[in-house]
Structure 1
Amino acid sequence: MGPFDWLPHAPLEPLHLGWLAAAGVEVAVLRLDRIDPLISGNKWFKLTEHLAQGRAAGATGIISLGGAHSNHLHALAAAGKRFDFPTVGLLRGHPQDTPTVLDLQAFGMQLHWLGYGGYRARHAPDFWQPWRERYPQLRPVPEGGGGLAGARGCMTLVQQARAQLSGLGWDDYHGWWLAAGTGTTLAGLVLAEAGAHRVYGALAVPQDHGVAQQVGALVQTGFELLDASRGGFAKVDPRLLDFIQATEAASGLPLEPLYTGKALLALQTEVEARRFARGTRLIFVHTGGLQGRRGFSLGFGGSNGTESALKP
């Protein structure tokens, strides 16, 4: 099961927007959305350690969880298709043919729908036992590719960004800003930074979803979480949509409304409130997820980045 020698490159690009210029704050975007047409965003990095540990334990594939628009399951299924290992998805709710689900099926992922109560039981101590018995050859991976293995897989992002600073004319930076769903990528950045730079997580889910506890189980200091959920996960409002469309028109940076759009809007709020001094330099992580835009009737134009066929 692999491969383990594929380490995609995420370009670091300057972001030019009026509200940043007015505040004297510089932002560069680590474009994880550009690493691959289908295995996109932070999901591959979170999977790498799980794949390595699975291979070491003799597993031949992966079984994991997600919803009907899951970026994690989409990247996992695409990786399984491209690199020829079996994948199984345990899905929240009842069968539905979303664009994501249709892709999962096309990529060869075996799907099981758990309902809503069954999915809520995913944190129970005995949740995985029947699935281990049914699929003994597969490695169970937490929702979103989380846990310490997922965080360790994201540590390489710090090295990738630092290697490109000179191309921006930067000799250093002051912190990171990114959306937080499970907090796994954030924890990986904190581990890699080892206190050198602060990591700010814009919560895509309400604070009662336990992200702070999940992150705190992996790292204790060096980060800050801010509520950017705008009332709940997948809650979309006109202010957010207007911001996304205006940002895309002004900068060409593609966003989606669940993670990157909310995270960048939260950054604008903090910048305009003078949270950051003039001269501050931040790295914004574009965590991908553009395929999930297809599940919303938002009137977005342009490509969602998933048209290319899978190729070895």
Structure 2
Amino acid sequence: MTDLPEPVAERRGVRLRVLRDDLHHPELPGNKWRKLKYNLLAAREQGHAALLTFGGAYSNHLAAVATAGRLYGFRTIGIVRGDELEPHNPTLTACAAQGMQLHFVSREDYRRRHDAAWLADVLQRLGPAYVLPEGGTNALAVRGCAEIVSELEAAHEPFDALTVACGTGGTLAGLVLGSQGHQQVVGVSALKGSGGSLRAEVERWVQQTAGRTFGNWELRTEFHFGGYARYSVPLLAFIEQFYQRHGVLLDPVYTGKLLYGTLALVEAGHFPRGSTVVAVHTGGLQGWAGFAARFGVRPPAAV
């Protein structure tokens, strides 16, 4: 845990901290390890030798599954959205180097990934495998992310609110599950225009895992900076300034938006004076390689 002595927090009487969950596992940082933990156990218990999953060409999730396969002895298969382009980008190059078999499908076919018949055909062609959803979110992933709260409590790290970046909503659902309605939980969406569907997904996962819903959480949708993985000069400037102030590297897809949004909410008086707010750093730093390849933009630590 790292304190963030930000002037805006001091003015508002808020103790602002960041949970360095990106340092939790040496090769599977942040929420990716937490989402995979119980899924890997389930795959082993069910006798699977392979993991199959889905993602875009720059997916943190694909990279994490490829790494998990190498570390824990699973063959890995990645179904990648879109046409194959040579040479592969840094993310897919790293996936292949760790043994992941990459299969590229059209965007139309990719939209069928939830279709049982289509998936059965894929498994028949590629072999039996434990199937992980895009982004890694399922009930077991939510259970793993809920352990963030229990670990904080076990370490006697009191807090009044947690903030976290959201893509599929699995980590947010896990924090809601772990908090059991006791602390405030705020999700900062990295996607544009997904508020309604993302809220519904979080509610569904919480209901499925807890058997009930809770009213202690909210989703903020105003800090997306143009949409998922969009290039944004103001966001990159914020990430560089944050690194200079604290020595903590953020990424432009998730955690940069998270800390920008968290500070904006502190400034707006969203958190009561005297409260401790913990922003959860969920990793995603491998995404910088994609930004460097596409836009020539490199992280502050590399400047």
SS of the residue corresponding to residue 103 of structure 2 reads strand
Are positions 1:128 and 2:123 aligned together?
A: no
1:32 matched to which residue of 2?
A: 21
Mapped partners of 1:226, 1:126: distance in 2: 36
Q: Does 1:224 align with 2:214?
A: no
Letter paired with 2:33: W
Residue 4 of structure 1 corresponds to which residue in structure 2? none
Alignment equivalent of 1:74, drawn from 56, 63, 79 = 63
Shift in Å at residue 79 of structure 1? 1.4
Q: Which of residues 251, 275, 278 is equivalent to 1:280?
A: 275
Matches for 1:97-108 after TM superposition, within 5 Å: 97-108=88-99
Greater percentage in helix:
2
Among 97, 113, 116, the alignment partner of 2:107 is 116
1:141 counterpart letter in structure 2: L
| Structure-1 residue corresponding to 2:172 | 186
User: Gaps (5+ residues) in structure 2?
Assistant: 207-212
Is residue 287 of structure 2 the alignment partner of residue 292 of structure 1?
yes
| Alpha-carbon separation, structure 2, partners of 1:51 and 1:69 | 22
2:10 pairs with 1:21: yes
Amino acid aligned to 2:236: L
Structure 1, residues 27-71: CA drift from partner, whole Å, max 9, x if none? 221212112343112101101121222222221221001111111
1:262, CA displacement in angstroms?
Answer: 0.5
Contact 2:21 2:280 in 1 (8 A): yes
Residue 127 to residue 266, structure 1, CA distance change in 2 (3 Å): farther
CA contact (8 A) 1:128 1:140 kept: no
How far apart in 2 are the matches of 1:292 and 1:37? Answer: 17
TM-score (norm 2): 0.89
* C-alpha distance in structure 2 between counterparts of 1:45 and 1:133, whole Å: 29
The aligned amino acid for 1:287 is T
Identical columns (%): 36
SS of residue paired to 1:63:
strand
**Superposition pairs of residues 108-187 of structure 1, within 5 angstroms:** 108-166=99-157, 172-187=158-173
The aligned residue for residue 302 of structure 1 is: 301
Contact in 2 for aligned 1:76/1:87 (Cα 8 Å): yes
Secondary structure class of the residue paired with 1:207: coil
Asked if structure 1 preserves the Cα contact closer than 8 Å seen for 2:14 and 2:273, the reply is yes
- Contact kept in structure 2, 1:58 and 1:137, CA below 8 Å: no
Structure 1 residue 136, shift from structure 2 partner:
4.4
Alignment deviations for residues 130-171 of structure 1 (CA, whole Å, 9 cap, x no partner): 1222344311110111121110111211122223345xxxxx
**2:114, 2:184 → 1: CA distance?**
30
Q: Which residue of 2 aligns with 1:310?
A: none
Q: Which residue of 1 aligns with 2:210?
A: none
Runs of 4+ in 1 over 6 A off after TM superposition: none
The answer for unaligned runs of 5 or more in structure 1 is 1-11, 167-171, 305-312
Question: 1:282 is matched by which residue type in structure 2?
Answer: V
Q: Distance in 2 between matches of 1:49 and 1:174?
A: 28
Query: What residue is the counterpart of 2:255 in the other structure?
Result: 260
In structure 2, distance between residues paired with 1:283 and 1:81: 32
Normalised by the length of structure 1, the TM-score is: 0.87
More off after superposition, 287-296 vs 36-45: 36-45
Give the conservation status (yes or no) of the 8 Å contact 1:180–1:201. yes
- 2:209 — aligned with what? none
